[in-house]
Amino acid sequence: RGDAVGFVGLGNMGAHMARNLVKNDYDVVVFDLNEAAVKSVTDVGGKSASSPAEIAAQMKTIVTMLPSSPHVKSVYTGDNGIFSTVQSGTLLLDSSTIDPSVSQEMDVLAQEKGSVFMDAPVSGGVVAARDALLTFMVGGPESKFEEAKGILSKMGKNVVHCGGVGTGQAAKICNNMLLGISMIGASEAMNLGINLGLDPKLLAKILNMSSGRCWSTELYNPCPGVVEGIPSSNDYKGGFGTALMAKDLGLAQNAATSTLSPTPMGSLAHQIYRIMSNTDLKNQDFASVFKFLQEQQDE
Ligand code: NAD
């Protein structure tokens, strides 16, 4: 163990993460429903499997990086799922952002098989995934954290233990609620400034040396052309999909309801991203809220 990792879910994030494991000389065996995604990892030295079950039958460490709770349930508990063949002692690291209660359900099922489940959602976006600079928020037994960190640190620069299973998701949900709110705020400010006659690059420069500065103004500015090499400067292609942000804001609202926490801005951000998810911005990067606001503007 240590040199071999199974990897399921090779989308915008997972493919980069799996390739970073290959680069670090791990034997990586991958599965995704999308053949092109599989090829992007087998082309650099990974091997492919025909199902999550086939991976679990051979690998004692498995990382999953799937869109949302139903996909995770299906990959772990489905007919050809991980739990149908998982070996005792296997370390299962789920980096998808999902409902903490689903992570806890997977933990119970993993324990029944003698395996260990940890939630390890990430922050940082596709560029950080490519450059192995992600932050991992990890929930699970402390005794297994160092082993998990050994693998996760090949794909990220910060690996933080948050507590028991589900606490990684809790941290991630809070982060993304703030990110959704700040991306809408950054888009409003950029759009207003442009309408006032300011040059967008100059406005971004001023924001970034002022108290409005945040990740969404500085590294992921939603206005096209302000920062090169990110989705907003590439027609909002790739990156973190609008529908995924709507999902995360929904998870935050479920959490807020169950803990009676007031989250008025999170609630509004959720509704804005839900409405966007019913437009052709659904599969574009979530910074396209800038474009959405422009489309709503009176002539
Ligand atoms: P994505 O939609 O680009 O990729 C998901 C991949 O999972 C796809 O390749 C899809 O084919 C595959 N998949 C779906 N169902 C499957 C199944 N049953 N079996 C095998 N493969 C299956 O998503 P992403 O952007 O890579 O995000 C993955 C997770 O990471 C999400 O939970 C997201 O919220 C979270 N996340 C994304 C970002 C980002 O910037 N994109 C950042 C942090 C966290």
Q: Are strands 61-64 and 91-94 parallel, antiparallel or unpaired?
A: parallel
Neighbours of 261 (CB within 10 A): 12
231 lines ligand 1 (CB under 6 A): no
| DSSP assigned state of 165 | T
Q: What angle do CA 165, 168, 173 make, to 5 degrees?
A: 125
Matching CATH topology for 4-163 and 170-296? no
The answer to whether 41 and 8 have CB atoms below 8 angstroms apart is: no
Residue 233 to residue 268: CA distance in whole angstroms: 26
8 lines ligand 1 (CB under 6 A): yes
Fold annotation for 170-296: N-(1-d-carboxylethyl)-l-norvaline Dehydrogenase; domain 2 (1.10.1040)
* Tokens matching residue 94: 């789920």
Catalytic annotation present for 172: yes
- The CA-based diameter of the chain, rounded to the nearest angstrom, is 63
The answer to whether 208 and 184 have CB atoms below 8 angstroms apart is: no
- Measured in angstroms, how far is the CA atom of residue 202 from the centroid of ligand 1? 35
CATH number of 4-163: 3.40.50.720
User: What residues does each domain of the chain span?
Assistant: 4-163, 170-296
User: Tens-of-pLDDT digits for all 299 residues of the chain?
Assistant: 448 999 999 999 999 999 999 999 999 999 999 999 999 999 999 999 999 999 999 999 999 999 999 999 999 999 999 999 999 999 999 999 999 999 999 999 999 999 999 999 999 989 999 999 999 999 999 999 999 999 999 999 999 999 999 999 999 999 999 999 999 999 999 999 999 999 999 999 999 999 999 999 999 999 999 999 999 999 999 999 999 999 999 999 999 999 999 999 999 999 999 999 999 999 999 999 999 999 998 87
155 lines ligand 1 (CB under 6 A): no
> What pLDDT, on the 0 to 100 scale, is given for residue 1?
43
Residue 293 to residue 295: CA distance in whole angstroms: 5
